[in-house]
Amino acid sequence: MDTVHLQELAADHLEQAGATSSGRHSHTLVGGHGHALRQTLMALKADHGLADHESPGEATVQVITGHITISTASTVTHVRAGELCVVPGELHSVQSLEDSVMLLTVLVPQTP
């Protein structure tokens, strides 16, 4: 079984995020299209994020480094390095308050 060192990957992904106009870079570590379980490492440079979007299924975010907010129409949740948060099942956005790397885990319902 292979292991992944998230702290080591974080620095590399932040560097790649800095080279993009969107200020973000992501890489699927586990699963992907056609799989129920997806784990994606996402790096966001400070003051960058993801516009309002829906989650394709149940999801959590674990912040590896940095500090992000997850906002819905009625709440703003701060998530810092070492913390895990359940992603709301409603329209939400993500904003990075400082250079941040997070592990997004999504369980996508499979159709029979």
Binned at pLDDT 50, 70 and 90, residue 109 comes out as confident
Q: What are phi and psi of 24, to 5 degrees?
A: -145, 155
The residue among 86, 94, 93 whose CA lies nearest residue 68 is 94
Q: Position 9: which residue type?
A: L
Go through the domains of the chain in sequence order and give each one's CATH number: 6-107 (2.60.120.10)
User: Taking 90 as the threshold, does the pLDDT of residue 1 lie above it?
Assistant: no
pTM of the shown model: 0.89
- Give the model confidence (pLDDT) of 41-77 as tens digits: 999 999 999 999 988 789 999 999 999 999 999 999 9
CA 91-78-61 angle, to 5 degrees, is: 65
